[in-house]
Structure 1
Protein backbone atom coordinates (compact mmCIF):
# COMPACT_ATOMS: atom_id res chain seq x y z
CA UNK A 1 0.00 0.00 0.00
CA UNK A 2 1.27 3.48 -0.90
CA UNK A 3 0.59 6.18 1.62
CA UNK A 4 1.11 9.96 1.44
CA UNK A 5 3.77 10.83 3.96
CA UNK A 6 4.43 14.45 3.01
CA UNK A 7 2.80 15.62 6.20
CA UNK A 8 4.09 17.00 9.44
CA UNK A 9 3.47 14.93 12.57
CA UNK A 10 0.90 16.24 15.07
CA UNK A 11 2.07 18.37 17.96
CA UNK A 12 3.76 16.32 20.66
CA UNK A 13 4.09 17.48 24.24
CA UNK A 14 5.83 15.91 27.21
CA UNK A 15 3.29 14.45 29.56
CA UNK A 16 2.63 11.79 32.12
CA UNK A 17 0.09 9.00 31.64
CA UNK A 18 -3.34 9.92 33.04
CA UNK A 19 -3.81 9.57 36.76
CA UNK A 20 -6.94 10.01 38.84
CA UNK A 21 -9.08 11.11 35.90
CA UNK A 22 -12.83 11.26 36.27
CA UNK A 23 -13.19 8.85 33.35
CA UNK A 24 -12.19 5.27 33.91
CA UNK A 25 -8.92 4.29 32.25
CA UNK A 26 -9.17 0.51 32.07
CA UNK A 27 -8.30 0.39 28.36
CA UNK A 28 -5.21 2.55 28.90
CA UNK A 29 -4.24 0.56 31.97
CA UNK A 30 -4.44 -2.75 30.07
CA UNK A 31 -1.91 -1.51 27.49
CA UNK A 32 0.46 -0.25 30.17
CA UNK A 33 0.14 -3.47 32.14
CA UNK A 34 1.12 -5.53 29.09
CA UNK A 35 4.21 -3.39 28.50
CA UNK A 36 5.28 -3.35 32.17
CA UNK A 37 4.84 -7.13 32.39
CA UNK A 38 7.17 -7.47 29.40
CA UNK A 39 9.85 -4.98 30.50
CA UNK A 40 9.50 -5.00 34.27
CA UNK A 41 9.69 -1.23 34.57
CA UNK A 42 7.53 1.82 33.82
CA UNK A 43 7.86 3.79 30.61
CA UNK A 44 11.09 5.66 29.93
CA UNK A 45 9.12 8.53 28.45
CA UNK A 46 5.50 9.32 27.59
CA UNK A 47 4.22 11.98 25.21
CA UNK A 48 0.74 13.32 24.53
CA UNK A 49 -0.64 14.47 21.17
CA UNK A 50 -2.28 17.86 21.29
CA UNK A 51 -5.23 18.46 21.39
CA UNK A 52 -6.15 14.76 21.87
CA UNK A 53 -8.24 12.14 20.09
CA UNK A 54 -11.54 13.76 21.05
CA UNK A 55 -10.47 16.94 19.24
CA UNK A 56 -8.91 15.42 16.13
CA UNK A 57 -5.49 14.02 17.07
CA UNK A 58 -4.79 10.54 15.68
CA UNK A 59 -3.57 9.32 19.07
CA UNK A 60 -3.98 10.23 22.70
CA UNK A 61 -0.38 9.42 23.54
CA UNK A 62 2.60 7.12 23.09
CA UNK A 63 5.18 5.69 25.46
CA UNK A 64 8.64 4.25 25.00
CA UNK A 65 10.01 1.50 27.23
CA UNK A 66 13.62 0.50 27.77
CA UNK A 67 14.04 -2.99 26.29
CA UNK A 68 17.77 -3.13 27.02
CA UNK A 69 19.33 -3.30 23.58
CA UNK A 70 16.48 -1.44 21.87
CA UNK A 71 13.63 1.00 22.53
CA UNK A 72 10.06 -0.28 22.49
CA UNK A 73 7.36 2.26 21.54
CA UNK A 74 3.62 1.73 21.98
CA UNK A 75 0.61 3.88 21.07
CA UNK A 76 -2.49 4.78 23.03
CA UNK A 77 -5.60 5.75 21.14
CA UNK A 78 -6.48 3.33 18.33
CA UNK A 79 -8.26 1.22 20.94
CA UNK A 80 -10.83 2.43 23.47
CA UNK A 81 -8.87 3.84 26.40
CA UNK A 82 -11.52 5.35 28.63
CA UNK A 83 -14.79 3.61 27.86
CA UNK A 84 -16.56 1.44 25.28
CA UNK A 85 -17.65 2.94 21.97
CA UNK A 86 -21.32 2.06 21.38
CA UNK A 87 -20.78 2.16 17.61
CA UNK A 88 -18.02 -0.51 17.65
CA UNK A 89 -18.48 -4.27 17.98
CA UNK A 90 -18.07 -5.09 21.69
CA UNK A 91 -15.60 -7.92 21.03
CA UNK A 92 -13.08 -5.48 19.49
CA UNK A 93 -11.71 -2.39 21.22
CA UNK A 94 -11.85 0.58 18.85
CA UNK A 95 -9.87 -0.19 15.69
CA UNK A 96 -8.72 -3.41 17.34
CA UNK A 97 -5.01 -2.51 17.32
CA UNK A 98 -2.31 -0.40 18.88
CA UNK A 99 0.97 0.21 17.07
CA UNK A 100 4.43 -0.61 18.35
CA UNK A 101 7.92 0.03 17.06
CA UNK A 102 11.22 -1.47 18.18
CA UNK A 103 14.18 0.81 17.41
CA UNK A 104 17.82 -0.13 17.94
CA UNK A 105 19.54 1.64 20.77
CA UNK A 106 22.32 4.05 19.87
CA UNK A 107 25.00 5.61 22.01
CA UNK A 108 22.57 8.19 23.39
CA UNK A 109 20.75 7.12 26.55
CA UNK A 110 17.66 9.03 25.45
CA UNK A 111 15.19 7.36 23.07
CA UNK A 112 14.95 8.97 19.61
CA UNK A 113 12.13 11.45 19.02
CA UNK A 114 11.15 10.60 15.45
CA UNK A 115 9.15 7.41 16.22
CA UNK A 116 6.61 9.48 18.17
CA UNK A 117 5.80 11.41 15.01
CA UNK A 118 5.76 8.40 12.71
CA UNK A 119 3.44 6.19 14.78
CA UNK A 120 1.06 9.16 14.86
CA UNK A 121 1.31 9.50 11.06
CA UNK A 122 0.46 5.81 10.70
CA UNK A 123 -2.44 6.15 13.14
CA UNK A 124 -3.73 9.12 11.12
CA UNK A 125 -3.86 6.92 8.00
CA UNK A 126 -5.89 4.33 9.89
CA UNK A 127 -8.41 6.95 10.98
CA UNK A 128 -8.60 8.77 7.65
CA UNK A 129 -8.72 5.80 5.27
CA UNK A 130 -9.98 2.88 7.36
CA UNK A 131 -6.83 0.92 6.49
CA UNK A 132 -5.87 -1.37 9.37
CA UNK A 133 -2.40 -2.95 9.12
CA UNK A 134 -2.45 -6.72 9.48
CA UNK A 135 0.36 -9.22 9.94
CA UNK A 136 2.38 -9.29 6.74
CA UNK A 137 1.05 -6.05 5.29
CA UNK A 138 3.32 -3.27 4.08
CA UNK A 139 3.16 0.50 3.65
CA UNK A 140 5.33 2.36 1.17
CA UNK A 141 6.10 5.76 2.67
CA UNK A 142 7.87 6.98 -0.47
CA UNK A 143 10.28 8.87 1.78
CA UNK A 144 12.50 8.13 4.82
CA UNK A 145 10.55 6.47 7.63
CA UNK A 146 12.09 8.88 10.12
CA UNK A 147 10.33 11.79 8.46
CA UNK A 148 13.65 13.25 7.31
CA UNK A 149 14.00 16.06 6.34
CA UNK A 150 10.60 17.58 7.16
CA UNK A 151 10.57 16.10 10.67
CA UNK A 152 13.15 18.08 12.61
CA UNK A 153 13.75 15.06 14.86
CA UNK A 154 14.25 12.74 11.87
CA UNK A 155 17.55 11.24 10.80
CA UNK A 156 18.64 10.44 7.26
CA UNK A 157 18.00 6.83 6.26
CA UNK A 158 17.41 4.62 3.25
CA UNK A 159 14.48 2.85 4.96
CA UNK A 160 11.41 4.05 3.08
CA UNK A 161 8.68 1.53 3.93
CA UNK A 162 7.13 -0.23 6.88
CA UNK A 163 6.35 -3.92 7.17
CA UNK A 164 3.85 -4.96 9.83
CA UNK A 165 3.91 -8.03 12.04
CA UNK A 166 2.16 -8.95 15.25
CA UNK A 167 4.47 -7.87 18.07
CA UNK A 168 5.19 -11.41 19.21
CA UNK A 169 5.85 -10.94 22.95
CA UNK A 170 2.75 -8.75 23.27
CA UNK A 171 0.45 -10.41 20.77
CA UNK A 172 -3.22 -9.87 21.51
CA UNK A 173 -4.76 -8.85 24.82
CA UNK A 174 -8.36 -8.69 25.98
CA UNK A 175 -9.36 -5.46 27.70
CA UNK A 176 -12.67 -4.55 29.36
CA UNK A 177 -13.62 -2.94 26.01
CA UNK A 178 -12.63 -5.82 23.73
CA UNK A 179 -9.51 -7.28 22.14
CA UNK A 180 -6.42 -5.32 21.09
CA UNK A 181 -3.65 -6.68 18.85
CA UNK A 182 -0.24 -5.02 18.98
CA UNK A 183 1.00 -4.46 15.43
CA UNK A 184 4.73 -3.77 15.11
CA UNK A 185 5.94 -1.45 12.35
CA UNK A 186 9.38 -2.49 11.03
CA UNK A 187 11.36 -0.16 8.78
CA UNK A 188 12.60 -1.68 5.50
CA UNK A 189 14.13 -0.47 2.24
CA UNK A 190 12.25 -0.23 -1.04
CA UNK A 191 14.18 -3.25 -2.33
CA UNK A 192 13.19 -5.29 0.71
CA UNK A 193 9.56 -4.23 0.31
CA UNK A 194 9.61 -5.44 -3.30
CA UNK A 195 11.13 -8.77 -2.21
CA UNK A 196 8.27 -9.14 0.27
CA UNK A 197 5.75 -8.86 -2.57
CA UNK A 198 7.59 -11.67 -4.37
CA UNK A 199 7.77 -13.96 -1.34
CA UNK A 200 6.38 -13.02 2.08
CA UNK A 201 6.98 -10.37 4.67
CA UNK A 202 8.01 -12.97 7.25
CA UNK A 203 10.59 -14.57 4.92
CA UNK A 204 12.35 -11.28 4.23
CA UNK A 205 12.26 -10.10 7.84
CA UNK A 206 13.82 -13.39 8.93
CA UNK A 207 17.09 -12.50 7.19
CA UNK A 208 17.16 -8.85 8.28
CA UNK A 209 18.74 -7.59 11.53
CA UNK A 210 17.05 -8.85 14.66
CA UNK A 211 17.53 -8.44 18.39
CA UNK A 212 16.79 -11.46 20.58
CA UNK A 213 14.94 -13.03 17.66
CA UNK A 214 12.73 -9.97 17.13
CA UNK A 215 12.73 -7.72 14.05
CA UNK A 216 13.95 -4.21 14.83
CA UNK A 217 14.18 -0.91 13.00
CA UNK A 218 17.70 0.43 12.49
CA UNK A 219 17.75 3.65 10.43
CA UNK A 220 21.53 3.47 10.24
CA UNK A 221 21.69 0.18 8.36
CA UNK A 222 20.63 1.74 5.04
Structure 2
Protein backbone atom coordinates (compact mmCIF):
# COMPACT_ATOMS: atom_id res chain seq x y z
CA UNK A 1 0.00 0.00 0.00
CA UNK A 2 1.48 3.29 -1.03
CA UNK A 3 1.84 6.25 1.29
CA UNK A 4 -0.65 8.33 -0.71
CA UNK A 5 -3.37 5.74 -0.07
CA UNK A 6 -2.81 6.00 3.69
CA UNK A 7 -2.71 9.80 3.63
CA UNK A 8 -5.89 10.00 1.54
CA UNK A 9 -7.78 7.53 3.74
CA UNK A 10 -6.94 9.40 6.96
CA UNK A 11 -7.51 12.76 5.26
CA UNK A 12 -11.09 11.70 4.48
CA UNK A 13 -11.67 10.75 8.12
CA UNK A 14 -10.02 13.84 9.60
CA UNK A 15 -10.15 16.59 6.96
CA UNK A 16 -9.50 19.40 9.43
CA UNK A 17 -6.96 17.61 11.62
CA UNK A 18 -3.28 18.44 11.79
CA UNK A 19 -1.56 15.06 12.17
CA UNK A 20 1.57 14.48 14.22
CA UNK A 21 4.24 12.70 12.13
CA UNK A 22 7.28 10.66 13.12
CA UNK A 23 9.86 8.97 10.97
CA UNK A 24 11.93 6.00 12.05
CA UNK A 25 15.66 5.58 11.45
CA UNK A 26 16.40 3.03 8.74
CA UNK A 27 18.56 1.01 11.12
CA UNK A 28 16.71 -1.13 13.66
CA UNK A 29 13.14 -0.19 12.79
CA UNK A 30 10.56 -2.05 10.70
CA UNK A 31 8.55 1.06 9.84
CA UNK A 32 9.44 4.06 7.75
CA UNK A 33 6.99 6.48 9.40
CA UNK A 34 3.76 6.83 11.36
CA UNK A 35 1.22 9.53 12.06
CA UNK A 36 -1.19 10.32 14.87
CA UNK A 37 -4.44 12.10 14.15
CA UNK A 38 -6.37 13.86 16.92
CA UNK A 39 -9.90 12.44 16.88
CA UNK A 40 -12.91 12.82 19.14
CA UNK A 41 -11.80 11.27 22.45
CA UNK A 42 -8.80 9.41 21.05
CA UNK A 43 -5.61 9.56 19.00
CA UNK A 44 -5.68 7.51 15.79
CA UNK A 45 -2.20 6.24 14.90
CA UNK A 46 -1.34 4.77 11.48
CA UNK A 47 1.83 3.31 9.97
CA UNK A 48 3.52 3.98 6.64
CA UNK A 49 5.73 1.50 4.81
CA UNK A 50 4.52 -1.83 6.15
CA UNK A 51 1.91 -2.17 3.40
CA UNK A 52 4.57 -2.38 0.73
CA UNK A 53 5.84 -5.61 2.33
CA UNK A 54 2.78 -7.01 4.09
CA UNK A 55 -0.22 -5.67 2.14
CA UNK A 56 -1.66 -3.86 5.17
CA UNK A 57 -0.85 -0.98 7.48
CA UNK A 58 -1.29 -0.99 11.25
CA UNK A 59 -3.42 1.39 13.25
CA UNK A 60 -4.12 1.84 16.94
CA UNK A 61 -6.59 4.14 18.66
CA UNK A 62 -5.55 5.35 22.10
CA UNK A 63 -7.72 7.25 24.55
CA UNK A 64 -7.09 10.99 24.48
CA UNK A 65 -7.39 13.64 27.14
CA UNK A 66 -6.65 17.32 26.70
CA UNK A 67 -2.97 16.81 25.81
CA UNK A 68 -1.85 18.80 22.74
CA UNK A 69 0.52 16.09 21.52
CA UNK A 70 0.02 12.34 21.21
CA UNK A 71 1.79 9.97 23.60
CA UNK A 72 4.95 8.50 22.12
CA UNK A 73 4.57 4.89 23.28
CA UNK A 74 2.02 3.95 20.55
CA UNK A 75 4.62 4.77 17.89
CA UNK A 76 6.98 2.26 19.52
CA UNK A 77 4.15 -0.27 19.89
CA UNK A 78 3.38 -0.04 16.18
CA UNK A 79 7.03 -0.69 15.36
CA UNK A 80 7.18 -3.67 17.77
CA UNK A 81 4.22 -5.28 16.03
CA UNK A 82 5.63 -4.45 12.58
CA UNK A 83 8.81 -6.34 13.55
CA UNK A 84 6.65 -9.34 14.51
CA UNK A 85 4.74 -9.09 11.22
CA UNK A 86 7.96 -9.09 9.23
CA UNK A 87 9.26 -12.13 11.15
CA UNK A 88 6.02 -14.13 10.88
CA UNK A 89 5.88 -17.11 8.54
CA UNK A 90 2.40 -16.12 7.34
CA UNK A 91 0.87 -12.65 6.87
CA UNK A 92 -1.02 -11.27 9.86
CA UNK A 93 -4.81 -11.50 9.69
CA UNK A 94 -7.79 -10.14 11.52
CA UNK A 95 -8.45 -12.09 14.73
CA UNK A 96 -4.83 -13.00 15.44
CA UNK A 97 -3.19 -11.76 18.59
CA UNK A 98 0.30 -11.25 19.92
CA UNK A 99 1.40 -11.46 23.54
CA UNK A 100 4.07 -8.80 23.98
CA UNK A 101 5.27 -10.22 27.29
CA UNK A 102 4.83 -6.95 29.14
CA UNK A 103 2.83 -3.75 29.08
CA UNK A 104 1.89 -2.59 25.57
CA UNK A 105 2.94 0.88 26.70
CA UNK A 106 6.54 -0.23 27.20
CA UNK A 107 6.36 0.76 30.87
CA UNK A 108 8.69 1.16 32.74
CA UNK A 109 11.32 1.52 29.98
CA UNK A 110 9.45 4.16 27.97
CA UNK A 111 7.16 7.09 28.54
CA UNK A 112 4.01 4.94 28.64
CA UNK A 113 1.89 4.54 31.74
CA UNK A 114 1.75 1.31 33.74
CA UNK A 115 -0.95 -1.04 32.48
CA UNK A 116 -2.07 -4.64 32.63
CA UNK A 117 -2.65 -4.66 28.87
CA UNK A 118 0.03 -6.94 27.43
CA UNK A 119 -1.61 -8.45 24.35
CA UNK A 120 -2.74 -6.88 21.09
CA UNK A 121 -5.53 -8.35 19.02
CA UNK A 122 -5.67 -7.53 15.31
CA UNK A 123 -9.01 -6.26 14.02
CA UNK A 124 -10.01 -4.58 10.78
CA UNK A 125 -9.95 -0.86 11.48
CA UNK A 126 -13.67 -0.04 11.86
CA UNK A 127 -13.43 3.08 9.70
CA UNK A 128 -10.62 2.22 7.30
CA UNK A 129 -11.35 -1.43 6.47
CA UNK A 130 -9.35 -4.63 6.29
CA UNK A 131 -6.28 -3.16 4.55
CA UNK A 132 -5.67 -1.49 7.90
CA UNK A 133 -5.27 -3.85 10.86
CA UNK A 134 -6.02 -2.12 14.15
CA UNK A 135 -4.21 -3.15 17.31
CA UNK A 136 -6.54 -3.49 20.28
CA UNK A 137 -4.88 -3.74 23.69
CA UNK A 138 -6.22 -6.40 26.06
CA UNK A 139 -5.01 -8.32 29.10
CA UNK A 140 -3.49 -11.78 28.76
CA UNK A 141 -6.50 -13.24 30.61
CA UNK A 142 -8.92 -11.59 28.16
CA UNK A 143 -6.97 -12.92 25.19
CA UNK A 144 -6.79 -16.45 26.61
CA UNK A 145 -10.48 -16.55 27.46
CA UNK A 146 -11.63 -14.85 24.27
CA UNK A 147 -13.67 -12.49 26.46
CA UNK A 148 -12.80 -9.23 24.73
CA UNK A 149 -16.24 -7.91 23.89
CA UNK A 150 -16.40 -4.16 23.71
CA UNK A 151 -19.23 -1.68 23.53
CA UNK A 152 -16.80 0.71 21.85
CA UNK A 153 -17.32 0.33 18.11
CA UNK A 154 -14.00 2.11 17.41
CA UNK A 155 -12.08 -0.27 19.72
CA UNK A 156 -10.13 2.49 21.45
CA UNK A 157 -7.36 1.17 23.71
CA UNK A 158 -7.32 2.66 27.21
CA UNK A 159 -4.20 1.63 29.17
CA UNK A 160 -5.85 2.94 32.34
CA UNK A 161 -8.56 0.27 32.31
CA UNK A 162 -6.27 -2.56 33.45
Compute the TM-score of the two structures, normalised by the length of structure 2: 0.92
> In 2, are the aligned partners of 1:43 and 1:63 still within 8 Å (CA)?
no
Corresponding residue for residue 67 of structure 1? 39
> In 2, are the aligned partners of 1:135 and 1:166 still within 8 Å (CA)?
yes
CA root-mean-square deviation: 1.7
Corresponding residue for residue 129 of structure 1? 88
Corresponding residue for residue 10 of structure 1? none
Structure 2: unaligned runs, 5 residues or longer = none
Q: 1:56 & 1:130 partners in 2: Cα distance?
A: 20
SS class of match (1:29): helix
Higher alpha-carbon Rg = 1
Compute the TM-score of the two structures, normalised by the length of structure 1: 0.68
Which of the numbers 180, 184, 195 marks the counterpart of 2:134? 184
Q: 1:61 & 1:79 partners in 2: Cα distance?
A: 12
Corresponding residue for residue 107 of structure 1? 66
> In 2, are the aligned partners of 1:125 and 1:131 still within 8 Å (CA)?
no
- Shift of residue 131, structure 1, vs aligned partner: 4.7
Corresponding residue for residue 126 of structure 2? 168
Q: 1:97 & 1:42 partners in 2: Cα distance?
A: 23
Describe the shift of the 1:109–1:56 C-alpha distance in structure 2 as closer, same or farther (beyond 3 A). closer
> In 1, are the aligned partners of 2:122 and 2:136 still within 8 Å (CA)?
yes
Name the count of aligned residue pairs.
162
Corresponding residue for residue 193 of structure 1? 143
Describe the shift of the 1:105–1:170 C-alpha distance in structure 2 as closer, same or farther (beyond 3 A). same
Corresponding residue for residue 33 of structure 1? 8
